Amino acid sequence: MSMFLLNNRYAKILFDTGADRSFVSTTFSALFDITPTTLENHYDVELADGKIIGVNTIIRGCTLKFMNHPFNIDLMPVPLGTFDIIIGMDWLTKYHGVIICGEKTLDETIELDNDLMDQKLRTFAERHNENKRKVDDSPRNNQQHPTRSKM
């Protein structure tokens, strides 16, 4: 169990690789002012006690603060016991989460803003091409080599 900020409130969070979706307890979700969205389909969710319930709502656009970075997360409200949030494979896959069991840590690959990354890649490519031109234009590389002809 870990404590992280979800929508600026401390939450007891379980990272569960056995869960396909991410969930929020119905009591914890009542603390933030986001109206749940009704889904077209309902999902059967098995709770810890083995009971199966149908869920057809999701709370979209929650913010999980992890390693000083905000991450978007959508959560399905269900009655939970010990935990406020269960983070499942939907979120772990989206953000390329890696759980290191021996160290009991979660490493997160943080996706950089596409515009910033594109700008850095363009700058790198421009510098690389400029350096290549300098090498290609050097006097040493422009010397004419005698041509040989076969008879």
Read off the CATH number of the domain in which 79 is found.
2.40.70.10
**Do residues 74 and 124 share a domain?**
no
Q: Can you tell me the mean pLDDT for 25-51?
A: 91
For residue 26, give the amino acid letter: T
- Report residue 99: phi and psi, to 5°: -95, 120
The more confidently predicted of residues 122 and 117 is 122
pLDDT digits (tens, 9 = 90+) for 46-59: 888 889 999 999 99
Domain count for the chain: 2
The helix/strand count (H/E) of the chain reads as 3, 9
Task: Give the residue numbers spanning the domain of 30.
Answer: 2-107
Whether 79 has a pLDDT exceeding 60, the answer reads yes
The more confidently predicted of residues 135 and 15 is 15
Rg over CA atoms, the chain: 26
**Do residues 25 and 71 share a domain?**
yes
Banded model confidence at residue 20, pLDDT cuts 50, 70, 90: very high
Contact 80, 71 (CB under 8 A): no
Whether 23 has a pLDDT exceeding 60, the answer reads yes
**Do residues 137 and 64 share a domain?**
no
CA 55 to chain centre: 24
**Do residues 79 and 23 share a domain?**
yes
Phi-psi region of 12 (alpha: psi -120 to 50; beta: other; left: phi over 0): beta
**Do residues 59 and 127 share a domain?**
no
